[in-house]
A and B are shown apart, each in its own frame.
Chain A
């Protein structure tokens, strides 16, 4: 079974600075997807960014980018120019690419605080 580990329960950063959230995972599969989700106090899960394992290029979405190290099974999220609205819980998630395996496997989450 796949597992996802987020070793940083809490992180804080000054507004406008850059912060990196860590995620490692364990799988025997070679083809899969990885995601970062944001969960503000409203509880709504919001997809931030996704990475397909067969792609070597790191995904980027505006101020959000990932550092995907497949051999190390590491998938970190970098947030540049942090804004107050980025404060939330962030979850790393794994999804198999096997047909029918639709469920997401989540890490424990990292609470990100933005200091003004």
Chain B
């Protein structure tokens, strides 16, 4: 079946502009995650959606960052008034979730969106 897809693959924007990044999870995956990867760094958690529960926004770096997800489908990560430090690859992942203690399923990652703020 299809994997996680993200669009656009690359995005160049001017400082101060708003950008929207899109993630299409694997069908049936109730959990969706956004991570940020700065050049030469590891992945930083941004936000996590699980079904209709309130999202875990603990990783969002500032109020310029927001994300939405409708049901168990597409998610959009929005960065307002972009800054040069926002330049990074933004990766989305999805997984199944079984709401019992400790059950974990593999997170499947998309290819990411490379954002460059000039």
Interface residue stretch chosen among A57-65, A71-79, A106-114: A106-114
Cβ–Cβ < 8 Å partners of B25 in chain A: none
Q: Does A13 contact B (CB under 8 A)?
A: no
> Given A104-B107, A105-B45, A107-B42 in contact, is the A43-B89 Cβ separation under 8 Å?
yes
Q: Are A102 and B97 in contact (CB under 8 A)?
A: yes
> Given A45-B91, A102-B48 in contact, is the A108-B111 Cβ separation under 8 Å?
no
Q: Does B93 contact A (CB under 8 A)?
A: yes
Q: Are A43 and B91 in contact (CB under 8 A)?
A: yes
Cβ distance B42 to chain A, nearest Cβ, rounded Å: 4
Cβ–Cβ < 8 Å partners of B93 in chain A: 45
Cβ–Cβ < 8 Å partners of A97 in chain B: 101-102, 104
Least CB separation from B110: chain A residue: A44
- Bound complex: CA of A60 vs CA of B74, how far in Å? 35
Residue tally, chain A, CB below 8 Å to B: 26
Cβ distance A6 to chain B, nearest Cβ, rounded Å: 8
Q: Does B43 contact A (CB under 8 A)?
A: yes
- Bound complex: CA of A4 vs CA of B107, how far in Å? 18
> Given A43-B89, A102-B50 in contact, is the A109-B41 Cβ separation under 8 Å?
yes
Cβ distance A23 to chain B, nearest Cβ, rounded Å: 11
Cβ–Cβ < 8 Å partners of A104 in chain B: 33, 35, 43, 45, 107
Least CB separation from A97: chain B residue: B102
Contact of A42 among B31, B56, B59, B111 (CB under 8 A): B111
